[in-house]
Structures are given as structure tokens and as C-alpha cells.
Structure 1
Amino acid sequence: MFDIGWSELVLIGVVALIVLGPKELPGVLRMVGQWVGKARRMAADFQGQFQEAMREAEMADVKKSFDDVKNAAHDFTGGNLLTNAQQQVEEAIKLDTSRTETPPATPAPEARPAAATSATPATETMPAPEVKTEAKTEAKAS
């Protein structure tokens, strides 16, 4: 991380031996070692917490993806498709019945002058249906 080679460490050691002296150097090295140990533990703790947060974030993403797939699968189940189709048919029937219940507005018939009024209402006469009998069919055949 700091890119310190062996030659730099030897130089630092020689300067420390000259400045501090041989009597205090072991205590100072022990104290520096403790600081380095604390720094490493703090870095490892931070790295562990960071990795745990990353795992939780990945877990949340995986859970979200799983829930999305689960919801999509639930939407495509057979029962749900049938209920959707049933609801669509019911809505179509409701629309159809609402159209037949409210007939379209027709213009009012024009007023015609009454030509002749009679006591009996006028009815249209329809021609009588042709009735086939066996005698008629035999007569036609001979």
C-alpha cells in the first residue's frame, strides 16, 4: 500500500537507533507495533462491515428478483387466468346489457292527419300459409 521496500525500512531503523538510542528503541518499536496492530484490526473490521453490507445489498437484490419472479409466476397461474377471463366476460356482459337496457333515442313519429277513424283498429291481413295435404301431393304426382 505504501510501497516501502527493505532499503527504506533499514534506513528508518538506522535513523531511529541514532535518534532514540539503543535503550528506548525496543519500547518505541513495541508501541509502533501496537499502533500498526490497532490500525490493521480497524481496517479488517471496516472491511468486514463493508463486505457484510455488500452481502446484505446483494441479498436484498436477490430477494427482490426472487419476489418479482414469484409474482410473475403467480400472475400466470391457471386459476388466475381463468378468473381474469371470467372478469372480462362479466364486464362484456354488463356492457352489453347496459346497451340493451337503454335503447337509442329514436325520433318521434311525425304527426299524420287522421283520415278516417273507426271503432275497430286496423290490422294487416297476412296471407294464409299454404297447407299441403296428402291428397294434393298424390294429385300432383299422378
Structure 2
Amino acid sequence: MSVPHEGNAQIAPEEVAAIQAAVHQLLTGTWTEKDGTTRSMRQSDIIVVAPYNAQVNGLRDALPDGIRVGTVDKFQGQEAPVCLVSMTASSAEETPRGMDFLFSLNRINVAVSRAKGLALVFGAPRLREAKCETVEQMRLVNTLCALPVFKQNERGSA
């Protein structure tokens, strides 16, 4: 989901607010299990992933206690019906650990594959405009641009 912001590196209050709103909306919905039973969404059905501890801390402060929040490494091997991913940095140039860290194919894959049903990626539109110096960096940016959930919100649907 596109969340416009400028000047953010390790903390993006705009993404925290957008994720907080998404969590509130998701908790009014339902989840259908593999066996076909439907139940209300629970806080434990949602995990939130961010690349930097500062953003993780901001999200923990803003979200209900039952929502699991952490870095990609924390959720290795875990799943939930919904995974919300905060990209945090306003642009590739503002990433403290560089484009290769933030756009890592492995990190993005691990993050979105935590979701059993829905993964939403929250990020600034300028992330897609990164100035690439290598073919590998082009591949990294292309991965973000190719995420359907990132592109859908640009057209106004969720």
C-alpha cells in the first residue's frame, strides 16, 4: 500500500499510522480456516514485519499487545493469516543499511511468505524510483515494483 512520506530512514510514523488503521479494519473481519470454518479475526492472526528495530518499537507502541511485531529474522518459520510489512525508509537513498538490505529478495520473500492469506506491503512511492548502479540493484527494485499488493493500492483498490 502506498504511503507517501519524505525524510524517513529507520522510523516512518506515516506507515505506523497506516498499519494501525489496517489492523483496526482487519480485526472487524473474518478468517476462513482450511476446513471451511469461519471465525472472527483475532489479534494473534496478524503479524507485522519491519526492517529496523526503531520501526518495530514504534509499531509495538501503536498496536494492540496481541499483534506480533518484529523484524524478518524474528518470524523465520512462523506464519499467520495476515502479514503486514513496513518498508519504513522514504527512499532507497535514505536507507541506513543500503538498498541491498532493504530490498533483499530473501528478506522480502520471507516477509510476504509469512502470510497464509493476505500480505500487505506498506511503503513510500519513492522506493520504486531508486537509482540503480548495477543489474542486481535493478532486480531488487523490480521485486518491490512487482508485488501486486504494492501496485494495487496505487490504483485505489486493496
Common fold: TM-score over 0.5: no
Q: Which has the higher strand share?
A: 2
Normalising by structure 1, report the TM-score: 0.21
Q: Which has the higher helix share?
A: 1
Asked which structure has the greater CA Rg, the reply is 1
Normalising by structure 2, report the TM-score: 0.19
Higher relative CO (CA 8 A, sep ≥ 6), structure 1 or 2? 2
